[in-house]
Amino acid sequence: MTSFTSGSRKKQVRFQTKDDLVLLREVLAKNPFQNKSAWNEIASAVADTRYNLQVDARRVRERTHLLIDQHKKSNADSLKSSGIDEEYGEKETLLDEILSLVEDEEKQKEKQKEKKETEENRGKEIRKRAMKNLTPKKGDDDSNDATPSKRNSSGNIVGYLKEKNDAELIYRRQELEVRKQQLQLEEEKFKLEKHERIQKLENDKQEKTLMFELLKKCLGDRH
């Protein structure tokens, strides 16, 4: 029978600079802040960077948030502790772009929260008006007889509520259609921005590589 000891537990992962770069590139490309299931794909991509690197969605998510927090606090020494200047520069650029993604997602959540509160308040107001119209006015109880005027009044209220309900349904359908169009536009905008971000990273990387090669050449010429 196989006995499990503490040695069979997962070892603490020590991320190297190259691991962080792969992680940040994947985060920027897949945007797990908008699609949380993407963390699993990111974990698989990071695990493939080197032999016996065991990471899961939770670990890459925690590592990403740690790097973001360090970046926010301008903890440059911690970020630059391993790796050459070229790698450090790319990490900074990636974190800047990822931080923009996080901020955009937080703004979007805040807008959705405000919109939800507005819709709830509007619903409360509609219910309040409906209850006000259903409340008997003073003098309505003077007679127990159901007079024609009272029956007509009840019929008018029912008709009013039906029209109100129909109007709400039409409004909600139109609102859903507008929201669908907005989501499509936002998705197209995100794809365009993603392409622009990747292109910018490629340009920055090529520029840093060129500068690095020039520096090596200058140092070689001195010798």
Helix residue ranges per DSSP H, 48-147: 57-72, 76-79, 85-134
As a whole number of angstroms, the distance between CA 166 and CA 90 comes to: 56
Decide: 53 and 75 in contact? Cβ < 8 Å. Answer: no
pLDDT confidence of residue 194: 80
Among left, alpha and beta (phi > 0; psi -120 to 50; other), residue 11 is beta
Query: Rg of the chain over CA atoms, in angstroms?
Result: 30
> At a CB cut-off of 8 Å and minimum separation 6, what does 211 contact?
none
pLDDT confidence of residue 52: 81
Closest CA to 31 of 194, 199, 196: 194
Tokens representing residue 56 in the block: 């899961």
> At a CB cut-off of 8 Å and minimum separation 6, what does 130 contact?
161, 164
pLDDT confidence of residue 11: 64
As a whole number of angstroms, the distance between CA 132 and CA 40 comes to: 53
pLDDT confidence of residue 7: 43
**Cα separation of the two ends of the chain:** 65
Closest CA to 20 of 78, 72, 74, 100: 78
As a whole number of angstroms, the distance between CA 33 and CA 106 comes to: 9
As a whole number of angstroms, the distance between CA 221 and CA 37 comes to: 51
Q: What's the distance, CA 138 to chain centroid?
A: 54
As a whole number of angstroms, the distance between CA 97 and CA 27 comes to: 10
Q: Which residue has tokens 């790796």? A: 83
Show pLDDT as tens, one digit a residue, over the chain (223 residues). 444 344 445 567 788 888 899 999 999 999 999 889 999 999 999 998 888 888 999 999 999 999 998 888 765 555 455 554 555 578 888 888 888 888 888 888 888 888 888 888 887 777 777 666 655 555 555 545 545 555 555 667 777 777 778 888 888 888 888 888 888 888 888 888 887 888 888 888 888 888 877 877 777 766 5
